[in-house]
Amino acid sequence: MKLPVIKHLTSFIEENDEDFLVETIETLESLTEVPSLKDDELDVIGELISNMYGAIEVNKMIKEGTSKKDALNSFMQRVMGSIDS
């Protein structure tokens, strides 16, 4: 996951609507079922999906009253903590 991408997607949600990301995730998840995709292509799609889910999670924290900066930092700390485990 990349913080700058999640930050950008969070801004996109604020300016538009979370539904755009949800529908994009559904489309990308459907694409992963194409049998002719190569591993590196699947990796890129997976990274995009992960960043979108991250932005949705950050947006949820913002809606609950957390500042954008704190929500982003908290989310990335949780991600890094799960990687270290």
pLDDT tens profile 43-75: 999 999 999 999 999 999 999 999 999 999 999
Residue 25 CB-density burial (10 A; 0-12 exposed, 13-18 middle, 19+ buried): middle
pLDDT of residue 85: 56
Can you tell me the distance from the alpha carbon of 78 to that of 30, in angstroms, rounded to the nearest whole number? 27
Q: Which two three-digit tokens encode residue 28?
A: 């990308």
What pTM, to 2 d.p., does this model score? 0.89
| Mean pLDDT, all residues of the chain | 93
